[in-house]
Amino acid sequence: MSELRHDTIQKRWVIIAAERGKRSTDFDRPKTIVSREAQCPFCPGNEALTPPEITALRPGGGPPDSPGWTVRVIPNRFPALGVETRDLARSAEGIYDRMNGVGAHEVIIEGPEHDGMMADYSVEKLTEVFKIYRSRLTELMRDPRLRYVLIFKNHGEAAGASLAHPHSQVIAMPVTPRTVAIELRSAREHYILKERCLICDIIRQERVSGSRMVYDDAGFVAFAPYASRFPFELFVAPRSHSSNFGAATDGDLENLGRCMKEIMTRLKRALHDPPFNFVIHTSPNANASPVRPGYWMTLDYDYHWHLEIIPRLTKLAGFEWGTGFYINPTSPESAAEYLRKVPVNGDRS
């Protein structure tokens, strides 16, 4: 079983996932991505190659683990965290801390087409995928052991995708991620000082400036963040304040679908289908049993859910590892300008 180990110096948890068990010989040759439908465990007809499905959308009906689905959710075959153990079992190992790897690790197969690509989905299809995200988030948050549910997507081998068939992932974990904890703390401190949401303030300033804005309608904004770590990084957020992605309405998710359709198309055309990651940042599980109260808990008024898209065009190197800072060779203003100029939907500006 996997375990969570705490880095005493860096105050960060690491999942040691023995099931995913790589031996040193596995590192000799580059991983190959399965490309033929016959071998792809995510293609229709190959349902028996995956663990039994958790849920699926089958518009025409049909039994579980049979073809005919439009979206299919399965447990990850090599889970980073698992639900077998009921006990979080925090313990010390001398100066170190550990706990059992309790959690969940699911794969959302976004559609039956092996060569599908998110940028080419219809707005309706994107909305369908986001509704599945919301339902998995809501479902997993019923478990009080799970403090945070992370939803993310890896596209392309350079972004860590090991299978080409389009899919997203869900990892539910018993601790609040450090990245989110820092955001919760910044948002709380800003709220205490100003009685306003930090991210609402940022959105207001970006809309006034416009120089980093890529998409702006009544529902959502997408902009290159002021301190972008990477070329063409984008920050996508609902304009109306909301801390919890799980509380998004169907209308919100349709708006998100429209926004993502446009910006994924712009990224694909501008950068020739770049490898990318995206991650949803949302509030921690309000139903979790707290071990201790702290910044990991949020109050609805001070956090604001959002989605970060990171095209993987540059490589991390010693500077980034040594500092936690980043060197970005492309200013967010020029990245945003370039993306705005990409023609989409007859908009040939």
Within 116-155, which residues bind its own copies (CB under 8 A)? Answer: 150, 152-154
Shortest spacing between CB 171 and its own copies, in angstroms: 6
Contact 67, 50 (CB under 8 A): no
Mark residue 345 as left, alpha or beta (left: phi above 0; alpha: psi -120 to 50; beta: remaining).
left
Contact 103, 173 (CB under 8 A): yes
Strand, coil or helix: what is 203? helix
What does the block give as tokens for 251?
């209308």
Residue 218 identity: A
> Does the footprint of its own copies cover residue 349 (CB under 8 A)?
no
Positions in 1-60 near its own copies (CB under 8 A)? 5-18, 20-24, 27-28
* Residues whose CB is less than 8 angstroms from the CB of residue 228 and which lie 6 or more positions away in sequence, other chains included: 328, 330, 331, 332, 335
Q: What is the DSSP string of 236-300?
A: EEESS--S-GGG--HHHHHHHHHHHHHHHHHHHHHHTS--EEEEEE----TTS--SS-STTS--T
Task: Identify which of residues 220 and 276 has a Cβ nearer to its own copies in the complex.
Answer: 276
Q: How many residues bind its own copies (CB under 8 A)?
A: 95
Residue 284 CB, shortest distance to its own copies, in Å, is 12
Nearest to 215 by CA among 348, 336, 347: 336
- At 163, the amino acid letter reads L
Take residue 153 and report the two structure tokens written for it.
């997507």
Of 82, 257, 274, 284, the residue at the interface with its own copies (CB under 8 A) is: 274
Nearer of residues 47 and 228 to its own copies, judged by Cβ: 228
Q: Under the criterion CB under 8 A, does residue 281 sit at the interface with its own copies?
A: yes
**Would you give the binding string for its own copies spanning residues 291-330, x where CB under 8 A is met?**
-----------------x-xx-xxxxxxx-xxxxxxxxxx
Nearer to its own copies, 17 or 222 (CB): 17
Under DSSP, the state recorded for 150 is: E
- H or E element: which one contains 75? strand 71-75
- Give min distance, CB of 48 to its own copies, in A: 25
69 or 173: whose CB is closer to its own copies?
173
Provide the β-strand partners of residue 123. Answer: none
Name the helix (H) or strand (E) containing 185: helix 178-194
- 40 vs 151 by CB, closer to its own copies: 151
Q: Is 160 or 294 the residue whose CB approaches its own copies more closely? A: 160
Q: How far is the CB of 12 from its own copies (least distance, A)?
A: 6
- Give CA separation, 208 vs 202, 203, 204, 212, in Å: 10, 9, 6, 10
Q: Which residues, numbered 218-257, are part of the site for its own copies (CB under 8 A)? A: 225-229, 231-232
Complex with its own copies: residue 123 or 158, whichever CB lies closer: 158
Smallest separation, CB 322 to its own copies (Å): 4
| From candidates 159, 247, 297, 344, binder to its own copies by CB under 8 A | 159
**Binding-site member from 36, 86, 142, 272 for its own copies (CB under 8 A):** 272
- For its own copies, the closer CB: 8 or 135: 8
Query: Between residue 66 and residue 105, which ones bind its own copies under the rule CB under 8 A?
Result: 80, 93-96
345 sits near its own copies (criterion: CB under 8 A): no
Q: Which two tokens stand for residue 202?
A: 């940022």
Binding track over 166-195 against its own copies, x by CB under 8 A? ---x-x-x-x-xxxx-xx--xx--x-----
Beta carbon nearer to its own copies, 49 or 207: 207
Structure tokens at 342: 């990409």
Helix axes 123-140, 250-271, angle to 10 degrees: 120
Distance of closest approach, residue 104 Cβ to its own copies, in angstroms? 13
